[in-house]
Structure formats: structure tokens, C-alpha cells
Amino acid sequence: MKTFLITGASSGIGAEVARQAVAAGYRVALAARSRDKLDSLVEELGGPQRAIAISCDVSDLADQEAMVAETLEAFGSIDVAFANAGLGTTAPGTEHGDPENWREMILTNIYGCILTARVCLPHVRAAKGWIVLTGSRAGRVTLKGSVYGATKWAVTGYGQNLREELAGTGTRVMLLEPGMVDTPFFDTPKPQALTAGDVARALIFAVTQPPHVDIPELLIVPTPPVE
Ligand SMILES: NC(=O)c1ccc[n+]([C@@H]2O[C@H](COP(=O)([O-])OP(=O)(O)OC[C@H]3O[C@@H](n4cnc5c(N)ncnc54)[C@H](OP(=O)(O)O)[C@@H]3O)[C@@H](O)[C@H]2O)c1
């Protein structure tokens, strides 16, 4: 049975990918800071034979190293590493944005993502598996004043560079680039957006392709409303 490691698994896209990964036959290692939510998800997914909860702040290298050690101890391999933890801004733009929020966001969205790739890399490489980075449509287009978007441009650039670093190893690197998804990322419901289930379905489709099929980018957005 293959192992799917997910950061940011306590909520939104990460939690839904965990559900669909288990349904697709994976064991899942669930990492985030909210241990209570992870423990509930482990129970929902059938307990420690199928899922484990790992307390991890992705901006902390020691936490991420421990995350990998716990995953290997429980399941013995990492076939898919999904660097998904992330957060947005508390106030828009540069003039009115909050520098402390930017620091946390940059450390989570960029540094945390790169650390996840780094600590998982030898194991994913051994499995000839996937490293999936959650970028965003916001990392492909210009969004007026968006510091969040800039963190996702960094993820886009890093993902492309990592892909080059791993070319010829059989390891695949995918940038997952959702448009708006209705998750707790936002304070209010987004009825016109994708659901986390929509994103998870596409991602599971992608990582279950045979070894000769590579999918460098997965851009998934809501269909524009019919006029
Ligand atoms: N929703 C959208 O429209 C959208 C669109 C494109 C891309 N994305 C990206 O998709 C990813 C998931 O977002 P979501 O929409 O599913 O939002 P969400 O429901 O708020 O989930 C964010 C997840 O990240 C975790 N997280 C945040 N900071 C962390 C840290 N320092 N260490 C470990 N985990 C941390 C949170 O867990 P804890 O708080 O428990 O640690 C939570 O599990 C993010 O990278 C986001 O930027 C979202």
C-alpha cells in the first residue's frame, strides 16, 4: 500500500485529499498544527492502520524532520509528498498589509513548502513517486497588490526549478494550481467556487497515472457562470 503525506491536512483541500486518498487505497500521514482536528480525521479514516496524525508547524525544520521520521516508522515509505499548508493575508495590499502576517505567510507558504520537499525528497525519490506543491492560480496571474499571490509565484518558480533538479530520476513534481476553492481559507462561504472535493478528485486522478505519465501543472478553476 502506498503512502500519501499531506501538510495542511487538518482542513480544506488537505483534509479532502486525505479522504479521497484513503478511498483510492493509500495510507495517509496527516500533518498540521491542529492536533484535535487531525485526530478526528484519523478516526474518520479508519484509525492507525490507514492514517496517522502528526503535529507539525511547517516553518520548523525539526518538526518537518520528525514528520518524516514518524511517517516512515508507521508506514515505511513516502510515495506522494503533498506540500499544501498555507495561509492568506489578513489585510490586502502593501500599504495596508500587516508585516507580521507577511512573515508568517512567507515562512509557511514558501519556506515551509521548500522544507517539505527537502525532507521528503530522498524517500519520494526512492519510491519514484510524486512531490506535489500547492501553488495557486494566484501564482500565474497578476493580482493587484497581492502579497499572498507573490508567495504563490515563489512556489511556481520553486516547483519549476525542483522539476529540473529531479529530471531523470523518475520522480515527478507537480504544481497544483487551484482557482478559488470554498474552504476555511476564507471567512465567508464562496458558493461560486470549486469545492475541496473537486480539487482532491483532480489530484488523485493525476498521481494515480502510470510511471511514464508526468503532469507538471494542474490548473483547476471554476467554470465561468453561464450568461
Ligand atoms: N482556498 C482557495 O481558494 C485556494 C486557492 C488556491 C490555493 N490555495 C492553497 O491551498 C492550500 C490549502 O488551503 P485551503 O484552502 O485548504 O485552506 P484551509 O482550509 O485554511 O487549510 C489550510 C491548512 O494549512 C495548515 N497550516 C497553516 N499554517 C500551517 C503551519 N505553519 N504548519 C502546518 N500547517 C499549517 C492549516 O492547519 P493548522 O492551522 O491546523 O496548522 C490547514 O490545515 C494553501 O496553500 C492555500 O494557499 C487555496
Q: Give the pLDDT confidence of 43-89 residue by residue, as tens digits.
A: 999 999 999 999 999 999 999 999 999 999 999 999 999 999 999 99
Number of domains in the chain: 1
Residue 225 lies in a domain: no
Residue 154 lies in a domain: yes
Residue 149 pLDDT class (50, 70, 90 cuts): very high
pLDDT digits (tens, 9 = 90+) for 33-46: 999 999 999 999 99
Taking the model in full, what pTM does it have? Answer: 0.98
Residue 77 lies in a domain: yes
Q: Ligand 1 atom closest to Cα of 185?
A: 20
- DSSP assignment of 13-70: HHHHHHHHHHHTT-EEEEEES-HHHHHHHHHHTTSTTTEEEEE--TT-HHHHHHHHHH
Residue type, 38: L
CATH number at residue 81: 3.40.50.720
As annotated, the active-site residues are: 148
Residue 61 lies in a domain: yes
Rounded to the nearest whole angstrom, what is the distance from the C-alpha of residue 13 to the centroid of ligand 1? 7
Residue 39 lies in a domain: yes
Residue 159 lies in a domain: yes
Q: Would you say the C-alpha torsion 110, 185, 150, 177 has a positive or negative sign?
A: positive
Instruction: Quote the strand ranges of the chain, DSSP E.
Output: 3-7, 27-32, 51-55, 80-83, 130-134, 172-178, 217-220
Residue 162 pLDDT class (50, 70, 90 cuts): very high
Rounded to the nearest whole angstrom, what is the distance from the C-alpha of residue 7 to the centroid of ligand 1? 8
List pocket residues of ligand 1, CB cut-off 6 Å.
7-14, 32-34, 56-59, 84-87, 108, 112, 134, 136, 178, 180-181, 183-185
Q: Would you say the C-alpha torsion 161, 195, 2, 43 has a positive or negative sign?
A: positive
pLDDT digits (tens, 9 = 90+) for 81-96: 999 999 999 999 999 9
- The conformation of residue 141, written as its DSSP 8-state character, comes to S
Residue 227 lies in a domain: no
Q: Residue with C-alpha cell 512556489? A: 155
How far is it, in rounded angstroms, from Cα 182 to Cα 132? 20
Ligand 1, atom 29: closest residue by C-alpha: 85
Question: What is the domain extent for residue 185?
Answer: 3-220
